[in-house]
Structure 1
Amino acid sequence: MTTQIQKAACIGGGVIGGGWIARFLLAGIDVKVFDPHPEAQRIVGEVIANAERAYRLLTMAPLPPKGKLTFCQSLEEAVEGADWIQESVPERLDLKRGVLTKIDAAAKPDALIGSSTSGLKPTDLQRDMKHPERLFVAHPYNPVYLLPLAELVGGEKTSRATLETARDRLKPIGMKGVIINKEIEAFVGDRLLEAVWREGLWLIKDDICDTETLDDVIRYSFGMRWAQMGMFETYRIAGGEAGMRHFIAQFGPCLSWPWTKLTDVVDLTDELIDKIANQSDAQSGARGIRELERIRDQNLCGIMQALKAGDEGRGWGAGKLLAEFEEHLWKNAPKAKVEVKVEPLRLLDIKVSPAWVDYNGHMTEFRYLQVFGDTSDALLRLIGVDMEYVEAGHSYYTVETHIRHLGESKLGQEIYSTLQLVSHDEKRLHYFSRIHDAKTGDILATAEQMMVHVDSKAAKACPAPAHVLAKVKEIADAHASLPVPEGFGRHVGQKKG
């Protein structure tokens, strides 16, 4: 079995199914969809639009060409030829069992079949299948296109090889498949969520707090800890130098105290439902669902980007997974095909995203540096200094930067960057970059920068190899006749003229 998903089929295109569709498509995978809902194409289209917006916030790594989306008239047509089939129909055992049995009968022999169920046991789902060994639960979290986890749960007849293959196939699309050792209703994640949800319902019912206060308690405290370390590693730190044993010894007795009502089920009366709904409307009802989804996505992207910078740039939690996904994208991206001419190199075309702007709707200062940094990275890839080169122990390090802000980059504005190589030697690259308005060509900002070639392990400068210098010379020869850029050699505060 290949570890790459070549063709996917999604049966069901609601919130979860649409998220799977977007995840597959943006990973470059062709997807066939079957959903008899009359609004399926509109709903899926809106989910994909949100996903594309989110990915522009999430990463600057080059995504593969978007997969082809096909809506089919039958389940059989959708699953034909697919090697990963994801079922995401409503959470009813009889319905899911019937759909999965039809998928099993129509799918090719080596296709993997995942179910997006939140709590049904795979043994019950695979009861009527002729090839039950390839059925497993692939339980994701909303939004599927951003949150990378999928709980992989096998039934009594599911082979271990199926789960391991599923885990391997998820990695190239930026997901973390975790294999759950034993099947239980609701698996691991929803068991934890149900416990917190049940206690939350009691707190609202007993008027301890309202829904907004409860959400504030989560998002301003342990929610942030959980986002990067989970529960047990967080509590290990709480145990101090003595670790987890000390934490359990200190706080373990609290478990027997009558603090919670986790064993009692709250009665969801009409009165309580009205209370929760009214408080929720007051909390966030002024915003529509699509706006809330976009706010959620933007926040998630920011958190994952922050986590990517953790552990001295190696990443932490979901940020580490994002860094690995980006590395995969860069390694599999087509080699840079920038034609070297007697003009500055056009290296980057982007749009100013919502995550890049301040309260005035203008691009913030550090994002200009990011664009110039990404421009420098594009130059390095052009001369052969790619991820494999860096992993081998050498790279170019930026040692000096001077940025001028000449115009304004605003939300949604299309911009591009150019780079002119001014001088070089065997160790140094001295160049001048510009950020332009894509419509007018106006210069919005410039950066003069110097990079030095280094031996990363020895932490010192060294000459670049011949094949890199040959490419540098090709660019330098083309740029030799260009005039010195206006603003080149300026210092901060220097007067014009």
Structure 2
Amino acid sequence: MHRIKKAACIGGGVIGGGWAARFLLSGHDVAVYDPHPECKRLVETVLANAARAYGRLTMAPLPKPGTLTFAASLQEAVADTQWVQESVPERLDLKQRVLAEIDAAAPEGAIIGSSTSGLLPSDLQRDMRRPERFFVAHPFNPVYLVPLVELVGGKKTSPEAIARAEKLLAEIGMKGVAIEHEIEAFVADRLMEALWREALWLVNDGVATVTEIDDIMRYGFGLRWAQMGLFQTYRIAGGEAGMRHFLHQFGPALKWPWTKLMDVPDLTEDLINRIADQSDAQAGVLTIRDLERIRDDNLVAILQALKAGNDGAGWGAGALLKDFEARLQAEAPAPEVDLSGPLRLVETTVGPAWIDYNGHMTEHRYLQLFGDTTDALLRLIGVDADYVAKGASYYTVETHIRHLGEAKLGERLHTTCQVVSADDKRLHVFHTIRNTESAQIVATAEQMLLHVDTEAGKSTPAPRTVLDRLEPIVRAHAALEEPDGFGRKVGEGRE
């Protein structure tokens, strides 16, 4: 199977730009052709958003981005490509003409996808000389983050083209779902349109506002659908008896007159204005660019959380991301994934956002936990937010962390702090992270802190109010045994 070396994107709007970003950030060269005078600016805007999102999406070493070129003609764009993606406006006559031109100019081994959201592939491939290599590749916005692509072949599409597309999509971290029968709007849009019709009626009848409907979805079943889909969610709703019990119990409700789904409200000016006004109120001061970035940040967080699901194996789109990262990480060295903990100051659970590609707590979270422990100690001696706001604090000037164990998703951890010594300027501490259930030491950190005047930027004696709280702790801890590992240098062997 040919891998993607170069892709061509014909059409540089939101979807075409998203395809370009997905290919580029996966390491493939991309040529874009669109006669629109603003094409270059529009594509580069999408690419900037995508690069920002990818910088937060994965800890795996991303490949060097591909080279982006803006071609002067369609023929120039498709030369030497393995994948051509058409994303021109949704007009059958326009797409037929453009696809015929692509077919005539693209290399024999290239496959051709269309981003149409509803036109039948058999109609689209009508004028192509080699229609067997054409298929619908319907993505979802933003293409560079949402991995789903509906693959729909026409009457003349070869099964080999669909199979090849599925494999090439996996190469760029996407999930191709082959639809066996071509129907208008395919599958995803039909499902979304059904929900959209019902939502229009709810607004039309004054039952709910656009904000209330969106809140119901994003705080409720949307979270379940994102990781499990519809049928598996309902299967679980059936309890131990499963889907059969669910259908027996809730199936009769399908005949109840709950919905106006088979009828669609007229989009009158009154309804259009009502929806538009409510949508404006919902957005408030947020611009479209603000909303796009909020959307991207949320998608990154969801994908990262799903990657850590199923005991670190990943779930749904998260499992796909995990596999994609594994390919990127194949030749990269694995980072250390260990943990570090007698005032008991911090209690926590290892959450999904703390997990790296090994399924353990990622390295920088150890330092975060030690920092949280230091902050807890400082609050105990009066160095709280109000104290810092007045222009003084303790700054960490030296840290030695030992990684002695591992922390996995869902495990309970707690930290302890031993104050080794202190004077009016310096605070010497030894922190330990322990697994709460097993009491095993996961990591330790020895730290030196200085009391500073934050406005002057230099060390200064701590006030008596702080020292009076600190000194009883110092006296009590002076009677403790020296903690194991105290004063070690980096690389020193164990006894």
**TM-score, length-normalised on structure 2?**
0.72
Contact 1:9 1:32 survives alignment (8 Å):
yes
- Indicate yes or no: 2:397 matched with 1:490: no
Give the structure 1 partner of residue 87 of structure 2: 88
Q: Deviations over 1:452-486 (max 9, x none)?
A: 79xxxxxxxxxxxxxxxxxxxxxxxxxxxxxxxx9
Give the structure 1 partner of residue 318 of structure 2: 319
- Indicate yes or no: 2:123 matched with 1:124: yes
Contact 2:62 2:328 survives alignment (8 Å):
yes
The alignment covers a number of residue pairs equal to: 384
Q: Secondary structure at the match of 1:220?
A: helix
**Offset at 1:298?**
0.3
Give the structure 1 partner of residue 403 of structure 2: 450
Give the structure 1 partner of residue 144 of structure 2: 145
Within 1, Cα distance between the matches of 2:224 and 2:316? 11
Give the structure 2 partner of residue 133 of structure 1: 132
**Offset at 1:182?**
0.6
Q: Deviations over 1:55-107 (max 9, x none)?
A: 11211111100100000111010001111000000111111111000000000
Contact 1:22 1:48 survives alignment (8 Å):
yes
Within 2, Cα distance between the matches of 1:366 and 1:238? 28
**Offset at 1:302?**
0.6
Contact 1:397 1:451 survives alignment (8 Å):
no
Gap runs ≥5 in structure 1: 337-346, 349-364, 378-386, 409-441, 454-485
Aligned pair in 2 of structure 1 residues 446, 175: CA closer, same or farther (>3 Å)? farther
**Offset at 1:110?**
1.0
One-letter amino acid of the counterpart of residue 313, structure 1: G
Give the structure 2 partner of residue 48 of structure 1: 47
Q: Secondary structure at the match of 1:490?
A: strand
Within 2, Cα distance between the matches of 1:444 and 1:190? 56
One-letter amino acid of the counterpart of residue 208, structure 1: V
Within 1, Cα distance between the matches of 2:6 and 2:366? 45
Give the structure 2 partner of residue 470 of structure 1: none
Identity rate, percent: 59
Q: Secondary structure at the match of 1:150?
A: strand
**Offset at 1:289?**
0.8
Aligned pair in 2 of structure 1 residues 396, 491: CA closer, same or farther (>3 Å)? closer
Aligned pair in 2 of structure 1 residues 95, 246: CA closer, same or farther (>3 Å)? same
Give the structure 1 partner of residue 265 of structure 2: 266
Aligned pair in 2 of structure 1 residues 451, 250: CA closer, same or farther (>3 Å)? same
**Offset at 1:256?**
1.3
One-letter amino acid of the counterpart of residue 297, structure 1: D
Give the structure 2 partner of residue 63 of structure 1: 62
Give the structure 2 partner of residue 257 of structure 1: 256
Give the structure 2 partner of residue 340 of structure 1: none
Contact 1:405 1:444 survives alignment (8 Å):
no
Contact 1:32 1:69 survives alignment (8 Å):
yes
Within 2, Cα distance between the matches of 1:122 and 1:494? 65
Contact 1:397 1:452 survives alignment (8 Å):
no
Give the structure 1 partner of residue 167 of structure 2: 168
Contact 2:117 2:189 survives alignment (8 Å):
yes
Q: Kindly report structure 1 stretches of 4+ aligned residues shifted beyond 2 Å.
A: 395-398, 400-406, 442-447, 450-453, 486-497
Give the structure 2 partner of residue 280 of structure 1: 279
Contact 1:404 1:447 survives alignment (8 Å):
no
Aligned pair in 2 of structure 1 residues 495, 332: CA closer, same or farther (>3 Å)? closer
Give matches, 1:313-352, under 5 Å.
Answer: 313-331=312-330
Whichever of the two has the greater Rg, that structure is: 2
Q: Secondary structure at the match of 1:221?
A: helix
**Offset at 1:450?**
2.8
Aligned pair in 2 of structure 1 residues 170, 240: CA closer, same or farther (>3 Å)? same
Q: Deviations over 1:251-281 (max 9, x none)?
A: 1111111111111121111111111101100
Contact 1:396 1:451 survives alignment (8 Å):
no
**Offset at 1:41?**
0.8
One-letter amino acid of the counterpart of residue 450, structure 1: H
Within 2, Cα distance between the matches of 1:30 and 1:11? 14
Q: Deviations over 1:320-376 (max 9, x none)?
A: 11111110111155x79xxxxxxxxxx99xxxxxxxxxxxxxxxx999x96xx97xx
One-letter amino acid of the counterpart of residue 275, structure 1: R
**Offset at 1:220?**
1.0
**Offset at 1:146?**
0.2
Q: Secondary structure at the match of 2:330?
A: helix
Over aligned residues, Cα RMSD in angstroms? 3.3
Gap runs ≥5 in structure 2: 337-348, 375-394, 407-425, 433-445, 451-495
Aligned pair in 2 of structure 1 residues 290, 178: CA closer, same or farther (>3 Å)? same
Within 2, Cα distance between the matches of 1:182 and 1:171? 22
Within 2, Cα distance between the matches of 1:308 and 1:126? 38
Within 2, Cα distance between the matches of 1:229 and 1:146? 18
Within 2, Cα distance between the matches of 1:489 and 1:35? 62
**Offset at 1:290?**
0.9
Aligned pair in 2 of structure 1 residues 37, 448: CA closer, same or farther (>3 Å)? same
Within 2, Cα distance between the matches of 1:264 and 1:494? 68
One-letter amino acid of the counterpart of residue 144, structure 2: Y
One-letter amino acid of the counterpart of residue 177, structure 2: V
Give the structure 1 partner of residue 154 of structure 2: 155
Within 2, Cα distance between the matches of 1:214 and 1:196? 11
Contact 2:398 2:448 survives alignment (8 Å):
no
Give the structure 2 partner of residue 23 of structure 1: 22
Give the structure 1 partner of residue 10 of structure 2: 11
**Offset at 1:446?**
3.7
Within 1, Cα distance between the matches of 2:311 and 2:350? 19
**Offset at 1:5?**
1.1
Contact 2:122 2:153 survives alignment (8 Å):
yes
**Offset at 1:198?**
0.7
**Offset at 1:405?**
3.8
Aligned pair in 2 of structure 1 residues 452, 93: CA closer, same or farther (>3 Å)? same
Aligned pair in 2 of structure 1 residues 446, 183: CA closer, same or farther (>3 Å)? farther
Give matches, 1:228-307, under 5 Å.
Answer: 228-307=227-306
